[in-house]
Amino acid sequence: MNDLTAKLSQEQTVLLNTMAQQYLMAGVWPVWSFTVATLDNYDLEAEELIRSLPRVGSYGNIGISYGLTSQSGPYLADDDRPALTIAACLHLPELQPYMSDPFLRVLHVLIAMQRSAPISTQEAARPRFTIDDITRELPGLPQHFAARLPGVLALEPATWGGSSGGTAAEGSWWRELHREIRHYKEAKTLYDYVQTTARLVTAQANEVPGTVPVAPAPVANTAPGPYVDEALIADLEAKDTVLQLDKLLALVGELNANHADRHPYACQMLLRAILDHVPPVFGHRTFDQVVANVAFGKTDKAYIRKLTEFRNSGDDALHRPMSTRPSRLNMDDLPPRTYINALLQHVLDNLPAVPQPTAHAGSA
């Protein structure tokens, strides 16, 4: 796939989120073995997913390419630290205030510096900049971003290349500006930046003899299947139990219908309602008690525990009042279907059966 703006699968988004969450918490990208082990808990193959992410440019060791990550394979060592690029922020809105928003501000400061740099008739040196030059123009630049800026700049085609020096850890680094940065002067938004980068990288890769363009990934069947497995619903309908399942079946049916029709708010509210409805099956009053006390097995435990994190988006859909800010909930904010199917399978397995009548011996 060679469209950096194309919609990602839920599994690809899980991969990016796993890497981004650690970066936001620790300030460094996690080692690859952490990402692999975390996705193993969801029965997802991290190696396949990172290779499946969209990328533009050339394929192989000749030429340049750019994608949502700094590395995509064919092999990553356990102690490698693949990073997310600015393009990945297009798919992770929660990362934008910490990465792409300040980066775009820095980018346009650098464009202004390059365009206003003195021109020498005797020296061919490129203009240089330091973190002090940037913070002088952007005094409100977040400190956490300023500290990570050298690593961010090194991954972006707009600012890679040229000489650099100094010590990033001590804040004494410098980099050269190259004239190609002027191509970004109209890229005011994240989408514009990603599109501009894709166009420039593709054109530059095609100019190198012997390069092989990135091959588009096979087009998958994008028609979404039912969110809750239909065979599982049929098994719930056929279950002979003392508990009444009419409301659960109605909620699940409406969840599937709204998922098929792409109604994110209804899906969030219905999912939240299901989580609040099923605890009595396990002998508890709340879903948090279910997660804390019921033995599900390692993989299913991970799935069901992750569902607790999606209660916040359900609260958002239900309780956020109208304001001057637009809502950003969409279908990508729903948890992967494997999570809710794992929960409902355990609901099915734990439903108490209807007691069978006790046979009484006949009187003589």
pLDDT tens, position by position, 284-294:
999 999 999 99
pTM listed for this prediction? 0.60
164 forms bridges with which residues in the sheet?
175
Q: Rounded to whole angstroms, how far apart are CA atoms 164 and 131?
A: 12
pLDDT band at 3 (very low <50, low <70, confident <90, very high): confident
Using the predicted structure, report yes or no on whether residue 21 has a pLDDT greater than 50: yes
pLDDT band at 203 (very low <50, low <70, confident <90, very high): confident
**Which stretch of 28-42, 61-75, 118-132, 213-227 has the lowest confidence by average pLDDT?**
213-227
What's residue 217's pLDDT?
Answer: 44
**Which stretch of 242-256, 278-292, 299-313 has the lowest confidence by average pLDDT?**
299-313
128 forms bridges with which residues in the sheet?
176
Q: Rounded to whole angstroms, how far apart are CA atoms 86 and 105?
A: 13
Q: Rounded to whole angstroms, how far apart are CA atoms 108 and 131?
A: 14
pLDDT band at 127 (very low <50, low <70, confident <90, very high): confident
Strand boundaries in the chain, DSSP class E: 55-59, 65-67, 128-130, 164-165, 174-176, 212-213
Using the predicted structure, report yes or no on whether residue 250 has a pLDDT greater than 70: yes
Residue 103 burial (C-beta neighbours within 10 Å; 0-12, 13-18, 19+): buried
- Mean pLDDT over residues 187-197, rounded? 94
pLDDT band at 218 (very low <50, low <70, confident <90, very high): very low
State how far Cα 354 lies from the chain centre. 44
- Mean pLDDT over residues 288-315, rounded? 85
Using the predicted structure, report yes or no on whether residue 57 has a pLDDT greater than 60: yes
- Mean pLDDT over residues 232-259, rounded? 94
CB neighbours of residue 172 within 10 Å: 12
334 forms bridges with which residues in the sheet?
none
What's residue 161's pLDDT?
Answer: 73
Q: Are 129 and 110 in contact (CB under 8 A)?
A: yes
Report residue 316 as tokens: 């958002």
pLDDT band at 209 (very low <50, low <70, confident <90, very high): low
Q: Is 5 helix (H, G, I), strand (E, B) or coil?
A: coil
Strand order in the sheet with 174-176: 128-130, 174-176, 164-165
- Mean pLDDT over residues 335-355, rounded? 90
Q: Are 228 and 248 in contact (CB under 8 A)?
A: no
Using the predicted structure, report yes or no on whether residue 361 has a pLDDT greater than 80: no
**Which stretch of 199-213, 294-308, 346-360 has the lowest confidence by average pLDDT?**
199-213
Residue 257 burial (C-beta neighbours within 10 Å; 0-12, 13-18, 19+): middle
